[in-house]
Amino acid sequence: MDSMTLIALASIITSGLTIAIGGIGVAIGEGRAVATAMTALAQQPDAAATITRTLFVGVALVESIAIYCLVVSMILIFANPFWDYFVAQAGG
* pLDDT tens-digit readout, 16-54: 999 999 999 999 999 999 999 999 999 999 999 999 999
- Spatial distance between the Cα atoms of 51 and 44, rounded to a whole number of angstroms: 9
For the CA atoms of 65, 47, 40, 42, what is the dihedral angle to 10 degrees?
A: -130
Domain membership flag for residue 72: yes
pLDDT at residue 3 in the model: 77
What range does the domain containing 50 cover? 13-76
Residue 80 region by backbone torsions, left for phi larger than 0, else alpha for psi between -120 and 50, else beta: beta
pLDDT at residue 25 in the model: 92
Domain membership flag for residue 2: no
pLDDT band at 86 (very low <50, low <70, confident <90, very high): confident
- 55 and 33 Cβ atoms separated by less than 8 Å: yes
Whichever domain contains 61, its CATH number is 1.20.20.10
Domain tally for the chain?
1
- 58 and 33 Cβ atoms separated by less than 8 Å: yes
Nearest by Cα to 71 from 23, 26, 15: 15
Domain membership flag for residue 65: yes
Domain membership flag for residue 31: yes
